[in-house]
Amino acid sequence: MDTIKNAANSVSETVQGGASQASKEGNKHIAKDGNNDMSTRATAAKDMVGDKLDQKKHETNSNIAQQKADL
């Protein structure tokens, strides 16, 4: 039963990591777009950093859950 739970957690974390990566890329394009005002670009850059941290957290949690499922 724990193996199934850990496998499901791994999939869930992988999906959440993908969503964070997509958000990060969107914010990166906003931050780089010279047509946006400076406050919009700065906010997007800040959000991009937060998304990158979330992405790494989810990737790490996914790897941990996968290792537990493999045991």
pLDDT at 70: 86
Whose tokens are 């937060």? That residue is 50
Q: Does any domain span residue 71? A: no
Tell me the pLDDT tens digit for each residue of 33-50. 999 999 999 999 999 999
Domain limits for position 54 = 2-66
Q: Which residues of the chain have pLDDT under 50?
A: none
Q: Check residue 71 and give its pLDDT.
A: 66
Structural domain tally of the chain?
A: 1
In a 13 Å sphere around the CA of 19, the CA atoms on its Cβ side amount to: 7
pLDDT of residue 13: 95
Domain-located, residue 6: yes
